[in-house]
Structure 1
Amino acid sequence: MTEVTIRAMKAGDWPAVERIYAEGIASGNATFQDKPPSWEEFDGGKIRGLRLVAVDTQDNVVGWAAASSVSSRPVYQGVIEHSIYVSKNARGAGVGHLLLAEFITTSEAAGVWMIQSAVFPENRGSLALHAAHGFREVGIRERIGRMSFGPWAGQWRDNVFLERRSTVTGTN
């Protein structure tokens, strides 16, 4: 892998972000979604300051991370749920580590004190990545959802529920 940098996601990155999202969906181990959302849905559901992309030296997007609020209630301000996806051609090259490290730094600077995520137990790469960045397993949500597409259609799936509490804000 060539050198990778992390920067804020722009609307013009959407075609590459959507392609990487679709690769994750096709793997069957990234999400319950059966297709990527539209740009308008993505843009409306993700926190603007917490959308990052990893780009190579040609400014090709090779990964992305984004977050949404877990609740609109004030008591949950500073708690987010995030997603991180790496292009299949860039997996295993450290892109996820760079992206997640910068995402954590960016979110903490924005006042986030807890990041949570739900990962399929079969997605060992994602579980290892999160563990390496201080996420802990809170529990298993058994049969939390049923797949609606592909060879997995109709299968109930578990999620490993992960969280990372900020070491910066003193709330851990």
Structure 2
Amino acid sequence: MGSNSQSEVPLHEQDRSVLILPSEPLSASRPANNPPPASSTQLAEAQQAPTTRSPANGDQSSSTRGRRTTHSNVFNLLTLTELRKAAWAHIYYRGIQAGDAAISTRRVPTWKEFDALMIRRHRYIAVDPRDNRTLGWVACFHPYPQWSHLYRDDELCSWKDPLNGRQGKIAEIQIMVAEAERRRGVGTFLLTSIVTSLEADSRYSVVQANLFEDDKVACRLFEKCRFEKVAKRTCAVRMLDGPRKGEWRHLITVEYELTPMHELAMQRQQQQQQQQQSNSAEPPTAIDTTVDPNALLKRPRLE
């Protein structure tokens, strides 16, 4: 075979710009047009002139590389279903390896267990609109299984608080973001999305989350989304494995009280009115179209 080592390099390791703009080196059948030798006067003027970089050189390639690596902060929100269970499991496993997302660093629940625990109506994933790549997921569950009879959707459990129009149920949030997609606003996007989804559900009044006290990143995220710290439990859980196996850790509970239903209805009405006003044009000025027949073609009277 040939001795050229470049042909043995896989396609994904080569420079893909060659596929778009292939280079055309000068061959013997196509000689280059050599310019005439410059005079001494031209050389002196060239030395005095300021040097400029052509944008077609390396600067353009570096800027192009910078644009390619720039991440967009626009995400799409989709429902987390079984079709995304492979991406969900991968993000879950990589998320717990740091030891701040769960009491285990290698035990991932099966999709069947996750699907049975999490509320199907309120679980989402964030995907990149360019390549449909899963960036993170968020879900919620009922934190108190002994109160499961209060979460049935029948007429017997249709009581609502007269003050806020909600049934007083609690949902606990679990959120994870892919390691390579952090610091892009994915967590804020997912957290605000599920809070908005729960606000539209009159069954729930409070959203909560339990965090490790030393997980500063998660604490800042929930604080940014207006969650308030309501409780702290010392030595609440014990790590099952990992580098901190057997260590008792403190937990803090943060909560977010959902907006009353009547206030949400008023906000929707105001938004609809603003949209109608912005979309509709102003009515034309009323013009009196009444015509007096005696004034038509009437010549002025001369005195």
Does TM, scored on the shorter chain, surpass 0.5? yes
Partner of 1:146: 238
Q: Is the 8 A contact 1:113 1:169 kept in 2?
A: no
Alignment of 1:67-146 (within 5 A): 67-71=140-144, 72-74=148-150, 78-111=169-202, 112-146=204-238
Same amino acid, percent of matched pairs: 29
Range 35-44 or range 104-113, more displaced: 104-113
Which has the higher relative contact order, 1 or 2, with Cα contacts under 8 A spaced 6 or more apart? 1
Q: Is the 8 A contact 2:168 2:206 kept in 1?
A: no
Partner of 1:30: 101
Give the deviation of 1:73 after TM superposition: 4.2
- Residue of structure 2 aligned with 1:156, choices 232, 248, 261: 248
The RMSD of aligned alpha carbons is 1.8
Give the deviation of 1:77 after TM superposition: 5.3
Partner of 1:8: 79
**Per-residue Cα deviation, 1:66-112 (whole angstroms, up to 9, x for no partner):** 01112314288521111011111111110011111111001111222
**Cα distance in 2 between the residues matched to 1:151 and 1:93:** 28
Range 161-170 or range 115-124, more displaced: 161-170
TM-score by length of 2: 0.54
Range 68-77 or range 114-123, more displaced: 68-77
Q: Secondary structure at the match of 2:220?
A: helix
Give the deviation of 1:18 after TM superposition: 1.0
Give the deviation of 1:15 after TM superposition: 0.9
Larger radius of gyration: 2
Partner of 2:31: none
Range 102-111 or range 37-46, more displaced: 102-111
Size of the aligned set, in residue pairs, is: 171
The AA in structure 2 aligned to 1:15 is A
Q: Secondary structure at the match of 2:214?
A: coil
Give the deviation of 1:168 after TM superposition: 3.5
| Structure with more of its chain in strand, by fraction | 1
Partner of 1:50: 122
Q: Is the 8 A contact 2:104 2:242 kept in 1?
A: no
Give the deviation of 1:136 after TM superposition: 0.5
**Per-residue Cα deviation, 1:33-77 (whole angstroms, up to 9, x for no partner):** 441100000000000001100111222111100011123142885
Partner of 1:39: 111
TM-score by length of 1: 0.92
